[in-house]
């Protein structure tokens, strides 16, 4: 059945991207032009009033499930903290053509970027996968580089999903509620490479956050871009506690497995993935 929800207007989508970019910056997860955001809108969005300039572009990979629909994407090199000040200067809109291979890029005369984010292929393949498999109407993807999460991924003992989750999700009862699937951990893979894209897509089928070792992470949400950022914030807070505990010589216990299980049971989380 078609989704009967009232879908957000363009202004609301851009405001949420601005709020998300500001929060990512506030938690030190996007130095300078690092980090990028995209939002898939599976309904008709009026674009020309705010993005009157048009050019046809070839997409880096086929996305047939997104045909006829719109993606709002941050520009390459743009600072996420500045989206809220002038969304049109920092964001472009892709309207995917029916062939799923090309699109119209709509931008503002105030556009301050030459191309969309260099991570566009990683965004597109995740949107394509979830929309094709799950028939979503809205899907948000955020790539960021939170300092403590990224630091921990430089330590060999943390570059394994079960070990990472056991250490990072033990510091707040809220963590298992916000991240019941845990955080997927990928080995170091060259950003933008085919291997990275494949591993990232597979990871984001099982988890709502995937950590790219020695680089950053990608988070997704079916609800809103700010919800994706909330998940990043919970994960980064756990990583900061873990870093503090390392510095303190491992003095703190954190929540035990039994305590985490109690929290999960109270909130109806059937199979929490702490390990």
Give me the domains of the chain, ranges plus CATH numbers.
Answer: 10-267 (3.40.225.10)
What's the confidence (pLDDT) of residue 192?
A: 81
What is the pLDDT, as a whole number, of residue 2?
Answer: 44
Report pLDDT for 6: 79
- The residue length of the chain stands at 275
**What does DSSP assign to residue 188?**
P
Tokens of 85: 């000040």
| Closest to 3 (Cα-Cα) out of 43, 39, 40, 44 | 43
Q: Where are the beta strands (DSSP E) in the chain?
A: 36-41, 53-58, 70-74, 91-96, 102-107, 138-144, 184-186, 209-212, 216-221
| CA dist., res. 261 & res. 173, Å (int) | 10
**Angstrom distances, CA of residue 117 to CA of 35, 123, 130:** 9, 9, 20
**How far is residue 98's CA from residue 259's CA, in Å, rounded to a whole number?**
51
Query: What's the pTM value of the predicted model, to 2 decimals?
Result: 0.94
Residue 255 in contact with residue 171, Cβ under 8 Å? yes
Of the candidates 36, 55, 34, 43, the residue with the CA atom closest to the CA atom of residue 12: 43
pLDDT score for 273: 67
Which residue reads 């046809």 in tokens? 56
Give the ranges where 104-224 is alpha helix by DSSP (H).
120-134, 147-152, 161-168, 173-178, 194-206
The single residue listed with the structure tokens 């497995």 is: 257
Q: How far apart are CA 142 and CA 17, in angstroms?
A: 10
Q: What is the pLDDT of residues 22-51, one digit of tens each?
A: 999 999 999 898 999 999 999 999 999 999
C-alpha dihedral sign at 138, 202, 132, 143: positive
* pLDDT score at 274: 64
Q: By the 8 A CB rule, do 171 and 237 touch?
A: yes
Q: Which two tokens stand for residue 25?
A: 């910056």
Q: Which two tokens stand for residue 246?
A: 């390392």
Which residue positions in the chain have pLDDT lower than 70? 1-5, 271-275
Hunting for tokens 């609301």 — which residue is that? 12
């Amino acid at each position: 059945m078609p989704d009967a929800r009232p879908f957000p207007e363009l202004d609301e989508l851009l405001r949420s991207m601005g709020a998300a970019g500001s929060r990512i910056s506030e938690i030190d997860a996007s130095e300078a032009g690092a980090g990028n955001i995209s939002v898939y809108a599976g309904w008709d969005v009026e674009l020309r009033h705010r993005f009157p300039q048009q050019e046809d572009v070839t997409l880096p990979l086929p996305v047939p499930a997104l045909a006829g629909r719109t993606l709002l994407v941050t520009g390459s090199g743009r600072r996420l903290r500045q989206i809220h000040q002038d969304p049109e200067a920092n964001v472009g809109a892709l309207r995917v053509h029916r062939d799923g291979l090309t699109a119209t890029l709509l931008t503002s005369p105030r556009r301050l970027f030459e191309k969309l984010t260099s991570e566009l292929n990683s965004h597109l393949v995740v949107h394509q996968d979830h929309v094709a498999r799950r028939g979503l109407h809205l899907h948000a993807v955020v790539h960021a580089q939170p300092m403590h999460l990224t630091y921990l991924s430089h330590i060999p003992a943390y570059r394994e999903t079960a070990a990472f989750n056991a250490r990072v999700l033990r510091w707040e009862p809220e963590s298992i509620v916000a991240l019941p699937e845990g955080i997927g951990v990928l080995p170091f893979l060259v950003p933008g490479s085919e291997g990275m894209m494949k591993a990232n897509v597979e990871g984001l089928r099982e988890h709502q956050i995937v950590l790219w070792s020695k680089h950053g992470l990608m988070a997704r949400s079916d609800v809103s871009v700010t919800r994706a950022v909330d998940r990043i914030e919970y994960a980064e807070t756990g990583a900061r506690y873990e870093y503090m505990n390392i510095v303190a010589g491992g003095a703190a216990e954190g929540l035990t497995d039994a305590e985490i299980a109690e929290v999960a049971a109270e909130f109806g989380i059937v199979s929490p993935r702490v390990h």
